[in-house]
Chain A
């Protein structure tokens, strides 16, 4: 598995890593910065991580996926720092013999990453900024 926190996520790096002769399907999810949230225009996002724990939690998810499904290769890359509208911030990739596993495992990994991995994003609008999910 390839699990990293990086300044810029690299789609080519992820796709290259996912190459495997036993794979019949490669699924890639790319999360990007959207230009709006809660009816407001988003200017940028800033990501912060508790790096050692974030990597540990990402590795746990990768291991859980590998135990549950027959996965040939798995990638989880997450960016930290400032990201502008349209830029990629997270890449999840799974290579497997068949597409069902690739789709399912990819979805599991991004959904669980959002729940447990200690990474935080602050959304900047024209007039203010908020930590996403901080308040009910």
Chain B
């Protein structure tokens, strides 16, 4: 799975995408968030971290499947 990264998450990871190895047991959005928090402790310090699946905000129990576009959405600050 390849994650799209924006804003501060792009800087934390050091690139605009993050490839997650297929052997990582990430079946839901919630599991992905927990995995990220462990791998990148700086993400735990953010005010919030949402995940978008196919460009829609996703709940933690939403399943992840191959072929989806998955993006990390740190706290937004448009306007």
Contact = CB atoms under 8 A, between A and B. Distances in A.
Interface in B21-79: 45-47, 52, 55-57, 71, 73-79
Interface size class of B (residues with CB under 8 A): 20 to 34
Interface of B: 4, 6-8, 11, 45-47, 52, 55-57, 71, 73-79
A120 B6 contact: yes
Contacts of A122: 7
Contacts of A117: 76, 78
B47 A53 contact: no
Contacts, number: 80
Closest 3 pairs between A and B when the two form their complex, measured CB to CB:
A119-B78, A120-B7, A53-B55
A50 B77 contact: no
